[in-house]
């Protein structure tokens, strides 16, 4: 069966190659982390003579899990991340399959920071897309694309981030779902400004309630820049952010 979606007169047709999971798992050891949070913790329940560990003599594995969705793995967040009201990512209707543009960008060095500029986004997207409106989802792979991203502790590293103009470029081109291999679209220490978050969600002037940001992905080098299809799977948490599994389906 041919898998194809048309957007702006362009056919996004799957090649038949294996889909690529670009998520990083939440795990006790070996996963990425940021924002000074500890790793995910898993503990068997021990209460009233009950033991939730088969390895320790219990009948079943029954465990409590503690993690931070923003700091322990691939996650998708909504404007509830920066709003006073408790908006939930679980209330967003994300298409099961949508056109996607994958671009790779080398951040520009500015005063010791590594910045993803609006101009760089425009140039990278223009190589593969000529229309004014971009596909509804954009996946950003930063260069160099070291495998260390899979397990890096980003706390206190001043990771690369999007300048305000880059966030505005995404809004102007109609991108509703942006995914990137960094802990945040904003600078690690910015005095609480969160400029890229506010611009992308147009908060509070014109809220983009259906827009999402997905952070902590990893895109292998084998997946080439260009037009693909995206299946963005999210766990059903009533929260501003939730663990997620974005999967790219390569297109011709």
Report domain extents, the chain. 4-24+69-250
CATH architecture of 4-24+69-250: 3-Layer(bba) Sandwich (3.50)
Beta strands in 29-160 (DSSP E): 41-44, 46-47, 50-51, 63-66, 75-77, 98-105, 108-110, 113-116, 137-142
- What's the pLDDT tens digit per position in 159-169? 999 999 999 99
Q: What value does the mean pLDDT take over residues 186-208?
A: 97
For the cut 70, the answer to whether the pLDDT of residue 151 exceeds it is yes
> Which tokens hold the place of 205?
């002037």
Per-residue pLDDT tens digits for 19-67: 999 999 999 999 999 999 999 999 999 999 999 999 999 999 999 999 9
Residue 64 confidence (pLDDT): 98
Is the pTM of the predicted complex or chain greater than 0.85? yes
Assess whether pLDDT exceeds 90 at residue 204: yes
CA torsion 239-245-249-250 (nearest 10°) is: 110
Residues 6+ apart with CB under 8 A from 163: 115, 116, 117, 118, 196
Q: What is the pLDDT of residue 1?
A: 59
């Amino acid at each position: 069966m041919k898998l194809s979606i048309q957007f702006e007169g362009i056919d996004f047709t799957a090649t038949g190659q294996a889909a690529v999971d670009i998520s990083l798992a939440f795990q006790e050891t070996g996963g990425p982390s940021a924002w000074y949070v500890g790793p995910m913790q898993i503990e068997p329940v021990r209460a009233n003579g009950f033991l939730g560990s088969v390895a320790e003599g219990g009948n079943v594995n029954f465990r409590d899990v503690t993690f931070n969705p923003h700091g322990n793995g691939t996650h998708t967040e909504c404007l509830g991340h920066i709003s006073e009201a408790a908006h939930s990512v679980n209330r967003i209707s994300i298409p099961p399959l949508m056109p996607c543009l994958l671009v790779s960008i080398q951040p520009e060095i500015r005063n010791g920071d590594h910045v993803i500029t609006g101009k760089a986004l425009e140039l990278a997207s223009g190589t593969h897309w000529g229309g004014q409106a971009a596909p509804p989802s954009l996946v950003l792979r930063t260069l160099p694309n070291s495998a260390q991203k899979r397990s890096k502790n980003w706390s206190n590293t001043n990771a690369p981030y999007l300048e305000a103009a880059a966030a505005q470029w995404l809004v102007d081109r109609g991108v509703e779902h942006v995914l990137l291999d960094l802990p945040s679209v904003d600078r690690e220490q910015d005095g609480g400004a969160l400029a890229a978050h506010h611009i992308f969600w147009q908060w509070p002037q014109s809220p983009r309630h259906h827009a999402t940001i997905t952070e902590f992905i990893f895109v292998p080098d084998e997946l080439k820049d260009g037009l693909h299809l995206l299946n963005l799977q999210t766990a059903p948490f009533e929260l501003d952010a939730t663990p997620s599994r974005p999967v790219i389906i390569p297109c011709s």
